[in-house]
A = this chain, B = another copy of it.
């Protein structure tokens, strides 16, 4: 569907036209409020509960373990702030990974202001949390560990099962922001004993402005936004029915297509990684060489800035990212790359390619056709590179 060469699926995804079709009647003829007692209200209530069931099935959860929210940011807020607020008597310490998405870091800052203590567990050069290091961060007062399932930026997948094993039986709650992983790696809460899981609708080609939070039975959280008491009192506000039906449709489509789709995307990823590393001198892969998302290729190029690369590719009709879209308009280097031990200048030379549902083999061809020349041209203008070459 994207007209240009779009390789920034991590920042934003088109909504699948089948999802838009599923949503359409809920905007117009089926527009009831689930709280209403008449027929339109009944119809909306049915659709709400069926949608909840379909999203639950997508991750192996029970229907009553899913709460709809306005998106991943709100789900992360509800999971972390809602959990610590409700469980403060049990302890005041949480652990997050240094490589977490900015939204988790900012939530951590917010709860620190409320008197909670936050420890950050480091990651290795590939962005992976070491289970041993995590074990050392856990103290008597730790009540929550929050580690993203995968990095939306460098694509590294965390050892979630091993992390869950470390915490198991110690009365601690494990939250994972699964936004980068959903639809790309299998997530089944029956297999991995995770307690709280953040999902976003757009990341499985559903509409933006909707997310969900999985809350395992017997895990208690407090609401963060008081109001009319919808979603069992945990998330007030009239339910956004078209978006909820859309997320459910997106989950169904993803569940059925994922097994073959991830192989297709991994093939593009591998061709791109091989092509770039083979054709461009002094180029490096960021993130884990094997434990990475099937759609993610993240590089750094010595002595040039990712932003110059991005703008040159933009001129050629190729859309990519320098890292997290949420901080791309600032000039700060990626904190994820810094946490992997990269120097500031190395972090600044990075470029992220992410494939998705409408990616074509020719997208890889096009990048391999133009990128080596762009890198060469930018380096020819770089005093840094000249110096390096002479050294």
Chain A residues at the B interface, C-beta cutoff of 8 Å? 1-4, 6, 8, 11-15, 17, 19-20, 24, 27-29, 31-33, 35-41, 44, 70-74, 76-77, 101-103, 106-107, 109-110, 202, 207-210, 224-230, 236-243, 307, 310-311, 313-314, 317-322, 324-329
Besides A76-B227, A103-B228, 4 more A-B contacts (Cβ < 8 Å) are A1-B28, A2-B40, A35-B326, A210-B240
CA distance A379 to B192 in the complex (A): 59
**Shortest beta-carbon distance from A112 to chain B in Å:** 11
A241 touches B208 (CB 8 A): yes
Copies in the assembly, this chain: 2
CA distance A29 to B13 in the complex (A): 10
Name A320's closest neighbour in chain B (CB-CB): B38
- For the complex of A and B, list the 4 residue pairs with the smallest distance between their C-beta atoms, beginning with the closest: A209-B240, A70-B70, A228-B326, A73-B237
A319 touches B40 (CB 8 A): yes
B3 touches A29 (CB 8 A): yes
B71 touches A240 (CB 8 A): yes
Complex partner residue of A77 from B227, B307, B311, CB under 8 angstroms: B227
Q: Which residues of B have CB within 8 Å of A17?
A: 28
CA distance A311 to B96 in the complex (A): 52
A12 touches B28 (CB 8 A): no
Q: Which residues of B have CB within 8 Å of A202?
A: 238
A38 touches B208 (CB 8 A): no
CA distance A73 to B225 in the complex (A): 8
Known interface pairs A14-B29, A31-B12; A38-B310 also in contact (CB < 8 Å): yes
Name A103's closest neighbour in chain B (CB-CB): B227
A327 touches B228 (CB 8 A): yes
